[in-house]
């Protein structure tokens, strides 16, 4: 589904990613862990197409297409979804209306008819229960006045409606209490299928207790220095990043 | 990444042409340029006016000669040569006025169709009575009969002068006298047509009244005059919408709108204005110098101005309320967009005279490309206005970094037992907001529309339903040139 080859990227001239290689197949869940400043967020932003991030070298192939050639909204329409670490507020823009616009933009891109209002409301009421969100949030402007936890749950709610093929979760666990974490993880797990894949970016292992990854990668200074199964995350938690870095250098 | 840079996007969209830029080829009877007493007499005679009105015009003209064009507004434009403007133009084969739409020049109907406002459909579907003004002469008036049954008068000012001279004599110039300002004086001297609307006591006007204005003749100033009188306990909602064909020379438009609300009467006046804004270099476009004022003369009367201003090269417009009657209310809801090289200086005046009078001002200014948007508002609380209240909210939204937003609120409070609140904000559409929308699959253009519509929501909800949709569409069309 996704193949990243020797990816180098920089922000304002500072080289951040220094040769990432990663392959993600449909049905897989990958976790990328690493200390602050290792390039985790840069990686997901480059994949999503943020224009502040410059790709210096390398290739990214996604569903047989050159991902780096696509505009941000085209990538989204091709099924790439980013759950933001800091979801953006859109004052005055109704949450439901926003989501319907997004879904219809994606359907239009795929040559499908627009969803009608009734169908959409059914879809919404189904998914809102899954994320345990208050109905009132649907009528409010996007993310405006939402609590930190509500924002994160709203991201996963959007994901549940848009049904991406590849979901990137950027520090989705940060700022969540244990109950919210369970709900968010439950939402992500409910969407898991053999046709889609998930990349989770996180500092901590605790999210991975709820969303169990097939692969864990350790990202340090713009490179993946170690890959393994879910036990690698536990090892990281136990030993700390420094030790793993030392070991991998040895 | 192959992402289009902001400037490239901007350039691409900016090059799209004004959608409504076309000229209708209809033979016109047009006066040569110039203004003098003979011209005024010609207009008055052409319209078969009584002597008192000819005199009224001439008096206004003499006043105007002594007045100076105001230059305090935050707009810049080349000096206007008032002698280079033609002051009368009427579609030639319309002299006798059509009895029904069948009698209307098909090309004219086609013009309206291009604008997406087919009269036939409006008659049948929207239930809106349309007094369409094509240049200076009314060409189609509909639903007159249905309105007449309720005693509502809705006709052109010219007809009203003939058929209801007592009402015209009593009310015309009573809210905006010819002495009011330079452009009002000019309008009083040379106004060619416009709408008159009278709602009898205790009557709720059975439909929204609507007028589409359109400027078509090259170098013809448009001097419309509208008068709406709502008698005791009556209600009317009036819609005014405009588009203009593309033109290179600047066109002057100096309209006057007067509203009178008596005891317990309510007038809602909504405008969607989309006159040609000029091109990306600031060439062409309409100069819109309008005087709009409503008098809440009766106790517990109410006047609401709602405007969506997306067009014109220069806008100079302050729809105001004189809150004379006790417990009367004035409201002003405005969305003003300045893109390209447009300059808008707009706002309102709320003059509190009666006791417990209330006013609300919600102004949303949007600046894009090289647009300059100014809010200028005055809240005046006279000594007599005990218990008066005002709430003002002025928000500005900037798109790009070449545009400007300015706010000039003036307060003049003479009564200590009054209450004034003012809130203001300026924000910029964030790259992060656009990115967020795009990451969900929404295109850049739609993202901006979404954010702008969110910004304007408080005003749009004041517009009648069908107008709100049109306003949204206009904003989208106008913003096509300003993505970035």
Mean pLDDT throughout A44-64? 96
Q: How many H helices and E strands in chain A?
A: 10, 12
Give B-chain residues touching A71 at CB under 8 angstroms.
2-4, 438
A196: tokens are 């889609």
Mean pLDDT throughout B11-31? 54
Report pLDDT for B109: 54
Residue of A nearest to B455 (CA): A92
Report pLDDT for A165: 97
CB contact under 8 A, B438 and A73: yes
Query: pLDDT tier at B113 (50, 70, 90 boundaries)?
Result: low
Could you give the CA distance from residue B322 to residue B334 in angstroms, rounded to a whole number? 18
B227-238 tens-digit pLDDT = 999 999 999 999
| Sheet with A223-228: strands ordered across | A80-83, A166-170, A197-202, A29-33, A215-220, A223-228
Could you give the CA distance from residue A226 to residue A216 in angstroms, rounded to a whole number? 8
Of A61-65, A124-128, B31-35, B428-432, which one has max mean pLDDT? A61-65
- Report CA-CA distances (Å) from A229 to A39, A166, A214: 21, 20, 6
CB A139 within 8 A of CB A118: no
3-state secondary structure of B37: helix
Strands (E) in B357-466, as ranges, are 358-368, 372-381, 389-399, 404-413, 419-428
Looking at residue B226, what DSSP letter applies?
A: E
CB B251 within 8 A of CB B80: no
DSSP H/E element including B232: none
Out of B23-32, B153-162, B180-189, least confident range: B23-32
Q: What's the length of chain B?
A: 484
B357-407 tens-digit pLDDT = 999 999 999 998 888 999 999 999 999 999 999 999 999 999 888 888 898
Report pLDDT for B415: 93
Query: pLDDT tier at B154 (50, 70, 90 boundaries)?
Result: confident
B262-279 tens-digit pLDDT = 999 999 999 888 777 777
3-state helix, strand, coil in chain A (%, to 5): 40, 30, 30
Query: pLDDT tier at B19 (50, 70, 90 boundaries)?
Result: low
Could you give the CA distance from residue B33 to residue B31 in angstroms, rounded to a whole number? 6
- Report CA-CA distances (Å) from A117 to B39, B233, B473: 59, 40, 20
Mean pLDDT throughout A223-234? 91
Average pLDDT taken over every residue of chain A = 92
Mutate which: B7, B439, B453, B475, vs A, most A CBs within 10 A: B439
| pTM of the entire predicted model | 0.79
pLDDT(A41) > 90: yes
Looking at residue B32, what DSSP letter applies?
A: P
Adjacent-strand bridge partners of B266:
B235, B302
Average pLDDT taken over every residue of chain B = 81
Distance in angstroms between the alpha carbons of the first and the last residue of chain B = 18
B205: tokens are 């006007």
Greater confidence (B24 vs A64) lies with A64
Could you give the CA distance from residue B403 to residue B14 in angstroms, rounded to a whole number? 14
Mutate which: B427, B428, B441, vs A, most A CBs within 10 A: B441
A126-172 tens-digit pLDDT = 888 888 888 888 889 999 989 888 999 999 999 999 999 999 999 99
pLDDT(B319) > 50: yes
Taking Cα atoms as reference points, which of B450, B482, B452, B456 lies closest to residue B468?
B456
Strands (E) in B42-152, as ranges, are 89-91, 129-134, 137-141
Q: By percentage, how much of chain B surpasses pLDDT 90?
A: 46
Query: pLDDT tier at B342 (50, 70, 90 boundaries)?
Result: confident
CB contact under 8 A, A105 and B440: yes
CB B100 within 8 A of CB B187: no
Query: pLDDT tier at A245 (50, 70, 90 boundaries)?
Result: confident
Report pLDDT for B97: 46
| Radius of gyration of the CA atoms of chain A, in A | 18
Q: Could you tell me how far CA A215 lies from the centroid of its own chain? A: 15
The B-side interface with A (CB below 8 A) comprises 1-4, 427, 430-433, 435-444, 446, 450-451, 453-458
Mean pLDDT throughout B44-50? 90
CB B89 within 8 A of CB B29: yes
Q: Which of A75, A88, A93 sits opposite B454 (nearest CB)?
A: A93
Could you give the CA distance from residue B338 to residue B375 in angstroms, rounded to a whole number? 12
Taking Cα atoms as reference points, which of A217, A211, A179 lies closest to residue A192?
A211
A55 to chain B, any CB pair closer than 8 A? The answer is: yes
């Amino acid at each position: 589904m996704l193949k990243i080859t020797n990816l180098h990227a920089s922000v304002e001239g500072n080289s951040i990613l220094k040769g990432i290689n990663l392959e993600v197949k449909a049905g897989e869940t990958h976790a990328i862990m690493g200390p602050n400043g290792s390039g985790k967020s840069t990686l997901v932003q480059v994949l999503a197409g943020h224009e502040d991030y410059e790709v210096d070298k390398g290739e990214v192939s996604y569903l047989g297409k050159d991902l780096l050639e696509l505009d941000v909204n085209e990538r989204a329409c091709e099924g790439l979804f980013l759950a933001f670490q800091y979801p953006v507020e859109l004052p005055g823009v109704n949450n439901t209306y926003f989501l319907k616009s997004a879904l219809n933009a994606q359907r239009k891109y795929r040559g499908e008819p627009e969803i009608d209002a009734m169908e959409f409301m059914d879809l919404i009421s189904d998914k809102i229960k899954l994320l345990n969100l208050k109905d009132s949030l649907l009528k409010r402007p996007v993310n405006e006045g939402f609590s930190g936890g509500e924002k994160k749950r709203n991201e996963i709610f959007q994901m549940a409606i848009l049904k991406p093929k590849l979901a990137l979760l950027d520090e989705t666990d940060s700022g969540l209490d244990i109950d919210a974490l369970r709900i968010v993880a439950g939402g992500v797990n409910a969407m898991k299928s053999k046709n889609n894949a998930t990349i989770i970016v996180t500092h901590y292992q605790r999210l991975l207790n709820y969303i169990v990854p097939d692969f864990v990668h350790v990202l340090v200074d713009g490179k993946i220095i170690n890959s393994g199964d879910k036990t690698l995350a536990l090892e990281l938690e136990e030993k700390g990043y420094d030790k793993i870095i030392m070991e991998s250098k040895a | 990444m192959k992402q289009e840079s902001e400037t490239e996007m901007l350039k691409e969209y900016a090059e799209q042409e004004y959608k409504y830029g076309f000229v209708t080829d209809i033979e016109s009877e047009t006066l040569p340029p110039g203004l003098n007493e003979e011209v005024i007499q010609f207009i008055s005679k052409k319209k078969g006016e009584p002597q008192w009105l000819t005199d009224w015009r001439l008096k206004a003209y003499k006043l105007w000669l002594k007045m100076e064009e105001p230059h305090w507004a935050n707009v810049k434009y080349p000096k206007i040569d008032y002698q280079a403007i033609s002051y009368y133009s009427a579609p030639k084969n319309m002299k006798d006025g059509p009895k029904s739409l069948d009698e209307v020049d098909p090309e004219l109907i086609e013009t309206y169709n291009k604008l997406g406002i087919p009269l036939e459909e409006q008659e049948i579907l929207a239930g809106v009575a349309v007094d369409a003004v094509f240049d200076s002469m009314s060409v189609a008036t509909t639903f007159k009969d249905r309105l007449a049954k309720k005693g509502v008068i809705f006709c052109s000012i010219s007809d009203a002068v003939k058929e209801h001279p007592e009402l015209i004599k009593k009310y015309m110039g009573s809210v905006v006298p010819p002495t009011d300002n330079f452009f009002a004086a000019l309008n009083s001297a040379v106004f060619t047509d416009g709408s008159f609307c009278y709602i009898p006591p205790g009557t709720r006007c059975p439909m929204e009244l609507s007028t589409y204005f359109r400027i078509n003749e090259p170098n013809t100033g448009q001097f419309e005059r509208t008068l709406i009188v709502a008698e005791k306990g009556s209600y009317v909602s009036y819609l005014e919408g405009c588009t203009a064909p593309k033109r290179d020379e600047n066109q002057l438009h100096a309209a006057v709108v007067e509203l009178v609300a008596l005891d317990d009467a309510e007038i809602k006046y909504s405008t969607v204005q989309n006159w040609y804004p000029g091109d990306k270099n600031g060439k062409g476009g309409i100069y819109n110098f309008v005087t709009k004022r409503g008098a809440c003369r009766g106790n517990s009367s109410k006047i609401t101005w709602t405007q969506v201003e997306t067009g014109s090269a220069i806008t100079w417009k302050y729809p105001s309320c004189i809150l004379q009657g006790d417990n009367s209310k004035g409201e002003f809801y405005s969305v003003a967009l300045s893109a390209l090289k447009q300059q808008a200086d707009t706002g309102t005046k709320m003059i509190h005279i009666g006791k417990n009078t209330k006013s609300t001002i919600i102004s949303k200014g949007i600046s894009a490309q090289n647009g300059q948007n100014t809010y200028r508002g005055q809240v005046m609380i006279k000594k007599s206005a005990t218990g008066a209240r005002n709430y003002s909210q002025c928000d500005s939204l900037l798109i790009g970094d070449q545009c400007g937003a300015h706010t000039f609120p003036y307060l003049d409070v003479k009564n200590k037992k009054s209450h004034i609140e003012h809130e203001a904000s300026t924000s910029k559409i964030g790259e992060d907001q656009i990115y967020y929308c795009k990451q969900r699959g929404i295109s850049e253009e739609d993202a901006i529309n979404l954010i702008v519509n969110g910004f304007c929501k408080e005003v749009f909800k004041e517009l009648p339903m069908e107008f709100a949709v049109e306003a949204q569409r206009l904003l989208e069309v106008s913003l096509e040139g300003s993505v970035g």
